[in-house]
Amino acid sequence: MSLSSTTLFHFTHSYEILMKILREGLQPRYCVEYDWGKKDLIIPMICTCDIPLSEIGIHRKKYGDYGIGLNKSFAKKMGFTPVFYLSDKSFLFKQLYEYAKNLTNPSMSSWDKIGEETLLYYVKRSVGTACDREHLKMRLKPRFSNEKEWRYVPKISASVHLYLAQKGTEHDADREMLNKTTENKKILLTPEDINYLIVKNEEERMKLFNELSEIAKEKDCNPWKNKFNELQTRILSTELMKKDF
């Protein structure tokens, strides 16, 4: 069995969000990387995982029953890349931690060269800490390296860039406000870019089967007109996946 997939999966918690992605595209959203230099970093990104479909169950339980499987070749062309997983005992982690600790004014323009601040957009602890608020209910620290994350970061600009936040505080309101700045940074999708669509049960699978026809009419463009029938055959339900994978 391959340790990687030809598909990068992005999961969400609702059917409505999945439909919005199909209609409007994948939007970079601000996510929190906790406990970097006594700060939390809020970074614009689209997260996917490089996990074979047969091994996706644990990841799906964590991030939602609704998924979209992107063709990896398409994702690479768009700029998705694996993140750097770092042990907090490594030299590189310690260097970046100190850099983040002293960082007060993140760059608000495009990067001129590869440096510590650029790396902060693409690194992640291999194992989470007790400061990861989204995982406080877990008995064990989350082992992020098992997620095999591929990340897309939009072009940095005056309105879309890394933000610094106080360590250990709630960031929901900040993220909701910041997400408005990436609404025009969406990656539009066609049926050829999508290997799989995943919904929760068989009833929703049939519902999505029918709604893809409506989306094709709304799009009124050749990729959707000519290929949406093939996409309909690639709809899976977690209900069946639990039995067959």
Looking at residue 141, its pLDDT comes to 62
Q: Of 148, 151, 4, 8, which Cα lies nearest the Cα of 70? A: 8
What's 191's DSSP letter? Answer: G
Average confidence (pLDDT) over 9-15? 94
**pLDDT confidence bin for 134, thresholds 50/70/90:** low
Distance CA 167, CA 35 (A): 6
Q: Of 167, 105, 180, which Cα lies nearest the Cα of 132? A: 167
Looking at residue 7, its pLDDT comes to 95
In this predicted structure, the answer to whether residue 130 has a pLDDT above a threshold of 70 is no
Average confidence (pLDDT) over 109-124? 83
Looking at residue 11, its pLDDT comes to 94
Other C-beta atoms closer than 10 Å to the C-beta of 77 total 10
- For the segment 141-153, what is each residue's pLDDT rounded down to a tens digit? 678 888 899 999 9
Which element (helix H / strand E) includes 198? strand 194-199
Percent of the chain residues past pLDDT 90, beyond the cut: 62
Coil/strand/helix, residue 2: coil
C-alpha atoms less than 13 angstroms from C-alpha of 43 in its C-beta half-sphere: 21
Instruction: Among 64-73, 180-189, 235-244, name the one with the lowest average pLDDT.
Output: 235-244
